[in-house]
Amino acid sequence: MTSDEMGKSIQQLHDNQIVHGYRLGRTESNLDRLEADVHPFVAQLDRWEVVVEKLAHGSIELQSAMRGMVQTVEGLSANR
């Protein structure tokens, strides 16, 4: 390999590094933007998780109350 060919190879490597650096910078910028866009949705999902847990707990309490009511009605019907 001649010194001119070596110089061209080094220049190509340098150019490739510049291009890859530019692409890496763009990728990082896009990821930062994506994170900023997704963050509100993640926070909203966290709030929905709390709501669903409360609904599930309320549903369990409602089922228990309904069972108690049915037992009471059955008891009243049996005493007739």
Q: What is the dihedral of CA 14, 18, 24, 26, to 10 degrees?
A: -170
pLDDT of residue 25: 95
Q: Quick one: how far is CA 36 from the chain centroid?
A: 12
Mean per-residue pLDDT, 19-45: 94
Task: Please say if the pLDDT value at position 63 is more than 90.
Answer: yes
Would you state the pLDDT for residue 80? 66
Distance between alpha carbon 65 and the CA centroid of its chain, in Å? 36
pLDDT of residue 54: 94
- The predicted-structure confidence for 5-18, as pLDDT tens digits, reads as follows 998 999 999 999 99
**Tens-digit pLDDT profile for residues 35-47:** 999 999 988 998 9
